[in-house]
Amino acid sequence: MRVGILKETLPGERRVAIVPAVVPSLAKAGLEVLVESGAGAAAGFSDAAYTEHGVRVVASRADVFAQADLLLQVRAAGANPAAGRRDLSLYRPGQAVVGFLEPLGAPDAVLDLARRGVVAFALELLPRVARAQSMDVLSSQATVAGYKGVLLAAEVLPKMFPMLMTAAGTITPARVLVMGAGVAGLQAIAVARRLGALVQGYDVRPAAKEQVESLGAKFVELPLEPGQAEDRGGYARAMGEEFYRKQRELLTRVVAESDVVITTALVPGQRAPVLVTNDMVGSMKPGSVIVDLAAERGGNCEATRPGEVAEAMGVTIVGLTNLASTVPYDASQMYARNITAFVQHVVKGGQLKLDPGDDIVRESLVARDSDVVHPRVRALLGLPSAPDAAQGERRA
pLDDT tens-digit series, residues 317-332: 999 999 999 999 999 9
**AA letter at 76:** A
- The verdict on residue 282 lying in a domain is yes
**Which one from 46, 60, 67, 133 is the annotated catalytic residue?**
133
- The verdict on residue 96 lying in a domain is yes
pLDDT digits (tens, 9 = 90+) for 74-92: 999 899 988 888 999 999 9
**Which one from 37, 139, 283, 344 is the annotated catalytic residue?**
139
- The verdict on residue 136 lying in a domain is no
**Which one from 200, 235, 288, 325 is the annotated catalytic residue?**
235
- The verdict on residue 137 lying in a domain is no
Establish whether 91 is a catalytic residue: no
Average confidence (pLDDT) over 203-219: 92
* pLDDT greater at residue 8 or residue 270: 8
pLDDT at 396: 38
- The verdict on residue 131 lying in a domain is no
Establish whether 128 is a catalytic residue: yes
pLDDT at 94: 95
Structural domain for 334, as ranges: 2-125+328-395
Q: Does residue 117 sit in the same domain as residue 162?
A: no
**Which one from 128, 193, 237, 376 is the annotated catalytic residue?**
128
Distance from C-alpha of 275 to C-alpha of 254, rounded to nearest angstrom = 12
pLDDT digits (tens, 9 = 90+) for 233-262: 545 555 667 777 787 888 999 999 999 999
Average confidence (pLDDT) over 342-349: 94
pLDDT at 395: 38
Total length of the chain:
396
Establish whether 235 is a catalytic residue: yes
pLDDT digits (tens, 9 = 90+) for 33-70: 999 999 999 999 999 999 999 999 999 999 999 999 99
pLDDT at 142: 97
* pLDDT greater at residue 62 or residue 385: 62
Q: pLDDT category, 393, cuts 50, 70, 90?
A: very low
Q: Does residue 192 sit in the same domain as residue 220?
A: yes
Q: pLDDT category, 225, cuts 50, 70, 90?
A: low
pLDDT at 226: 63
Q: Over 90: is that where the pLDDT of 229 sits?
A: no
Establish whether 351 is a catalytic residue: no
Burial label, 238 (beta-carbon count in 10 A; 0-12, 13-18, 19+): middle
Q: Does residue 76 sit in the same domain as residue 167?
A: no
Q: Does residue 269 sit in the same domain as residue 304?
A: yes
pLDDT at 243: 73
Residue that terminates a domain, selected from 270, 288, 321: 321
Q: Over 90: is that where the pLDDT of 205 sits?
A: no
**Which one from 69, 136, 203, 259 is the annotated catalytic residue?**
136
Q: Does residue 298 sit in the same domain as residue 169?
A: yes
- The verdict on residue 130 lying in a domain is no
- The verdict on residue 76 lying in a domain is yes
- Number of domains forming the structure of the chain: 2
Q: Does residue 213 sit in the same domain as residue 314?
A: yes
Establish whether 136 is a catalytic residue: yes
Parallel, antiparallel or unpaired: strands 315-318 and 309-312: antiparallel
Q: Over 80: is that where the pLDDT of 333 sits?
A: yes
Q: What is the mean pLDDT of the chain?
A: 92
pLDDT digits (tens, 9 = 90+) for 149-192: 999 999 999 999 998 888 988 899 999 999 999 999 999 999 99
Beta partners for 177? 200, 261
Q: To the nearest 10°, the Cα dihedral for 362, 368, 371, 375?
A: 10
Q: Does residue 298 sit in the same domain as residue 171?
A: yes
Which strands sit side by side in the sheet containing 315-318, from one edge to the other? 218-219, 198-202, 175-179, 260-263, 289-292, 315-318, 309-312
Q: Does residue 301 sit in the same domain as residue 152?
A: yes
Asked whether the beta carbons of 201 and 191 are under 8 A apart, the reply is no
- The verdict on residue 135 lying in a domain is no
Q: pLDDT category, 228, cuts 50, 70, 90?
A: low
Q: Over 70: is that where the pLDDT of 392 sits?
A: no
pLDDT digits (tens, 9 = 90+) for 103-161: 999 999 999 999 999 999 999 999 989 999 999 999 999 999 999 999 999 999 999 99
Q: Does residue 193 sit in the same domain as residue 294?
A: yes
Q: Residue 63 maps to which CATH number?
A: 3.40.50.720
Q: Is the dihedral of CA 194, 197, 203, 209 positive or negative?
A: positive
Distance from C-alpha of 62 to C-alpha of 83, rounded to nearest angstrom = 14
User: Whole-model pTM?
Assistant: 0.90
Q: Does residue 316 sit in the same domain as residue 333?
A: no
Residue that terminates a domain, selected from 302, 321, 340: 321
Q: Over 60: is that where the pLDDT of 283 sits?
A: yes
Q: Does residue 251 sit in the same domain as residue 355?
A: no
Q: Does residue 349 sit in the same domain as residue 211?
A: no
Name the phi and psi angles at 367, rounded to 5: -145, 140
Residue that terminates a domain, selected from 305, 321, 337: 321
